[in-house]
Amino acid sequence: MKKVKQGLVFLICFLILTPTVFADSARQTLGELKAEYQKKLDEKKENDNKTAEAKADIAAKEQAIKKAEEDINKAIEEQRQVEANIEESNKRIETLTKETEKIIRYLQEMQGSNAYVEYVSGASTMTDFIMRVAAVEQVSDQVRVTMQQLEDEIARNEQLKKELIEKQEALKEQQEVLKKAIAARYNDIAGYDKYALDIDTQIKSLKTKLDSAEKNCAAYAPDKGDDAVISSDCVKKVYNSAGQVVTIENGEWLKPLTSGVITSEIGYRWGSYHNALDIGGNAEGTPVYAAAAGVVSGKIARYSCGGNMLYIDVTVNGQAYTTYYYHLLRFNVDVGDVVDQNTIIGYVGGTTTSTSYGGYDYCTTGAHLHFGVATGFYNGYSVPSSKVITPPGFPNSYGWRFYARNEMYAG
C-alpha cells in the first residue's frame, strides 16, 4: 500500500513537472488545417489578381518608356533639323552680308558720282525724281529688314533647340522614374526575402501536410474528426515497455551534424535576410540528423532557392519550435513521420544541386547545410523572420567549429 501511495505521488509530481507535449499555440486541429489550406487558396486567388494588376501596370509603364524613347528620337530629329535650319540661316546671313556690303559701297560711290546724279536728275517729273531717290534708299532698307528677319529666325531656332534638349532630358528622367517603378512592381510580385516560398509552393506544402494529417488522423484518432489535434492525436504513438505513450518531448538540443563549421551567419547579407546558419566542412552526402525529436511537417523538393527543404516541428522544454534544413542532397523521411535525435532525416547537398554545377538551386555554391530554428509551428513553410532564433548550442558567429553532436557553445 505504501509503495502504491509513493507511486501515485511520483506520478502526480511527474504530471505537474513534465511540460505539455506541444504548446497551446501549436495545438492545431485537423479542421483548422483545412481552414488554413482554404485560406491559402483564397490568398492565391487574391495574389493572382494582384500579380495580374502588377503585370498590367508594368506593361503600361514599359509602353510609356517606349513612347518616351520614340519622343526622344523625334526630338533628336527635330533638333537636327533646327540645327540644319540655323546653319542655313547663318549661310544666308553671311551671303546677304557680303551682298549688302557691296550694295552699300555701290550706293555710297554712286551718291558721290555723276551716275547717281544722272540717275536722279534724269527724272521727267518731280514724282519720278522722288521715286528714284526712294528706290535707292529702299534697296538699302530692304537689305536691313532681311538681315533682321534672318537674325530673328536664328534666335527662334536657338530657343527651339534649347527647348528640344530640355525635352530630351525630361523624357530621359521620366524613363528612369518609370524603370524604378517597374523594378518596385517586380519586387511586389517576387517579394524581398530570397528564401521566402512562392504561394504555389506554400499551397503544395500545405496540401502535403493536410493529406498526411487526414490519413494519420483517420488512423490514430478516427473518433475525433476535425477536432483531432494534429501534433499529438494524429502522430504515430510510441510506447514504452509499460505500455504507456511516450511523449515527443526533448530536454536538450543536439547538433544536426557530427561536426562542422559556421560559414555564414543569421542576418541580412547581399540585400536579403539569411534566416539560418550555414554549416560547412562536410562532404556532399554526409548524414543529417534531427536536432530534436518531433514530427516532419513539411518537405519541399528542388526549390529554386533552398533546394530540398525539410521542416520538423519539435518541442523542447515545453516550447514549440520549427526546425528547418535546406540544400539537402535527398530526403530520408516523409511528412508525418515521427523522428528522434538519432534519425537520419537527409543528406548534405549543395554542390551537385547547385546551378553552378548544373543543378537547380541558385542559392548554394558548395556542400553545406542551411540549418535554422524558429519559435512556433508554421505548417512546414514560410517561417517568419521575426521568429528566427540562433539555434540553441550555437553562436551566431562565422568560423565557429564543433566536433560532436552534443557539443554546446558556452559563450
For residues 156 and 140, give the distance between their C-alpha atoms in angstroms, rounded to a whole number: 25
CB atoms within 10 A of CB 151: 12
Detail the DSSP E strand segments found in 179-259.
none
Query: What pLDDT is stored for residue 87 in this prediction?
Result: 83
Q: What local confidence, expressed as pLDDT, does residue 140 receive? A: 62
Supply the pLDDT for residue 14: 32
Beta strand 338-339 pairing with 294-303: antiparallel
Give the pLDDT confidence score for residue 367 in this predicted structure: 96
317: helix, strand or coil: coil
Predicted pLDDT at 195: 66
3-class DSSP state of 275? coil
Q: Enumerate the β-bridge partners of residue 328.
A: 308, 348
Q: How far apart are CA 276 and CA 269, in angstroms?
A: 12
CA distance 278 to 306: 12
> Per the structure block, which three cell numbers stand in for 341?
535525435
Say if residue 284 is exposed, middle or buried (CB neighbours under 10 Å; 0-12, 13-18, 19+): middle
* Residues 123, 132 contacting (CB under 8 angstroms): yes
- Alpha helices by DSSP H, listed for 18-125, are 30-111, 114-121
pLDDT the model gives residue 245: 54
Strand duo 307-316 + 319-331: pairing: antiparallel
Residues whose CB is less than 8 angstroms from the CB of residue 315 and which lie 6 or more positions away in sequence, other chains included: 19, 21, 22, 23, 26, 248, 249, 250, 292, 294, 321
Measured CA to CA, the distance from residue 380 to residue 30 in angstroms comes to 15
Instruction: Output the pLDDT for position 13.
Output: 38
Q: What are phi and psi of 272, to 5 degrees?
A: -145, 170
Averaged over successive runs of 10 residues, the pLDDT of the chain (411 residues) comes to 40 32 59 89 82 80 80 82 81 73 61 54 57 61 73 81 83 80 66 66 87 90 91 71 60 92 88 90 96 92 94 89 96 91 95 94 93 90 88 94 91 68
| pLDDT value at residue 288 | 98
Question: In order of start, what are the domains of the chain with their CATH numbers?
Answer: 55-190 (1.10.287), 198-402 (2.70.70.10)
**pLDDT confidence of residue 50:** 76
The string of DSSP letters for 226-255 reads GG-BTTTTTS---B-TTSPBPP--BSS---
One-letter amino acid for residue 269 of the chain: R
pTM equals: 0.59
| Residues belonging to the chain | 411
